[in-house]
Every structure is written in C-alpha cells, then in structure tokens.
Amino acid sequence: MIIAIDGPAASGKGTLARRIAAHYGLHHLDTGLLYRAVAKAVLDAGYPADDVARASAAAAAIDPEKFDENALKAHAVSEASSVVAAIPQVRKALLDYQRAFAARPPGAVLDGRDIGTVIAPGADVKLFVTASPQIRAARRVAELKARGVAADERDVLADLLRRDERDSARAAAPLKPAPDAHLLDTTLLDIDAAFRAAVAIIEAARTGRKRG
Ligand code: DC
C-alpha cells in the first residue's frame, strides 16, 4: 500500500505520516528532507540556493542515509529548501529515489508537496492536509520552543506564507491537491483527532476499493 500525504509547511502532515506509517507497518519518507539536504549542501559550499548547476549536482549526490535531521531543520535551510525545490533539474534528480522508496514492500507513506500529483499518482490513498496559517504558525512556534529555540509568531507566520507562496506558485510540481486527494483540515483537530480522521479516510478508501 502506498499513501501519499501532501500539504503546506507545518500543516501536521509529517507527524501524521509517521503515525500512519507506524500504524500500518509501512516505510515512511519525509520528502522535504531531500530538498532540505540539497539546500544545505549548496549553502555549506558557499553558493546561493538558486544556483541551478550547484543545486542540481547536489541533488544527484545526496545520501539520505547520512541525513542529520536537526541540522536540516535550521531556519536558513528551510528558506533555501523552497528555492531549490523550484528548480526542475533538482526535482528530476530526486524523482527516482522517491519512486524506488515508494515501491519497496510492503509499501510506504510519503509526505511532501507533489506526492499525489507527481511522485506516486497511482497511490492507494491520497491525503491533502491543511490548517489555517495562524494555527500552523502557532504549532511551529511550540515545536521550536520545545527544541529550546525562541521564535516570534509573526515572523514564523511571515516565513510560512512566503514559503507557501513559493511552493504553490512555482511551475515545476507546485503544491496543489491531486484531483482524487481527500482533504483533511486539521485547524480544529489535535494530533490524535487528526490521526483518527486520517485512518477513517484510509479505511473508507480501502473498503471502497475492495467493493469496487
Ligand atoms: O516539508 P518541508 O517543509 O520540510 O519541505 C521543505 C521544502 O521542500 C518546502 O518548502 C517545499 C519543498 N518540497 C517540495 O517541493 N516537494 C516535496 N515533495 C517536499 C518538499
């Protein structure tokens, strides 16, 4: 079974994806880490994130086994990741890895922006997870605080909106729900309620498929 989970930054899709993968015994890939790793490699080498040649070369050379998730969550990396993600050659270089990951038995949950539209258009279930920008900013601030990082909610909100705009407006695989995605708005749901709602959608989709 392949489950595609897309949505904007801090919508809760990552936490949901991890829990769903554990629940169904599937592999999990946070595809945002791939773009973050490309961004970090380009910045670390001293180049701007929109350097197409450097970013494409970095995308061809990344090794997900060696990812340091903490370092990839840094603010500068977040910003730069949505810049490298708009480069078609970068997306192309990361395609095979993601498709091969999805194809590994017994299946996988992948979360990102283009999983249901580009990476796994034939996924068994597609979820598009959203939440209001204000609640996403509040959640991101709480997450940063828990990691000991002070953050101003207005700055975080401005960062999220800028990244949403870049991820949605780009020509290459923009952030948008697949026509057959199930929308899940988590604005008024805590993580347990969001998880239950997601499982209900997945179960209904599986039962519907068996009948049909
Ligand atoms: O999910 P995230 O915030 O860690 O993603 C980081 C950036 O990577 C995000 O701004 C958009 C990009 N991204 C993408 O374009 N496609 C994906 N499948 C996943 C992430």
- Does any ligand 1 atom lie closer than 6 A to the CB of residue 9? yes
Give the pTM.
0.95
- pLDDT confidence of residue 210: 65
List pLDDT tens digits, range 87-119.
Answer: 999 999 999 999 999 999 999 999 999 999 999
List pLDDT tens digits, range 63-87.
Answer: 999 999 989 998 899 999 999 999 9
- Please answer whether residues 128 and 182 qualify as being in contact, where contact means their C-beta atoms are separated by less than 8 angstroms: yes
Does pLDDT of 149 surpass 90?
no
* pLDDT confidence tier of residue 208, bands split at 50, 70 and 90: confident
Q: Is 2-203 a CATH 3.40.50.300 domain?
A: yes
Which whole-number Å values give the CA distances from 27 to 18, 114, 133, in the listed order?
9, 18, 29
Smallest CA separation from ligand 1 atom 16, residue: 113
User: How many whole angstroms from its chain centre is CA 11?
Assistant: 9
Smallest CA separation from ligand 1 atom 14, residue: 113
Neighbouring CB atoms inside 10 A of 89's CB total: 16
- pLDDT confidence of residue 197: 98
List pLDDT tens digits, range 14-30.
Answer: 999 999 999 999 999 99
CA–centroid distance, residue 78 to ligand 1 (Å):
9
Atom of ligand 1 nearest to the CA of 13: 1
Which of 154, 111, 93, 84 is closest to 8 using CA atoms? 111
Residues 141-170 have a mean pLDDT of: 91
- Does any ligand 1 atom lie closer than 6 A to the CB of residue 133? no
Burial string for 101-126 (b: 16+ CB within 10 Å, else e) reads bbeeeebbbbbbbbbbbbbbeebebb
Neighbouring CB atoms inside 10 A of 158's CB total: 13
Name the residue ranges covered by the structural domains of the chain: 2-203
- DSSP letter for 108, please: E
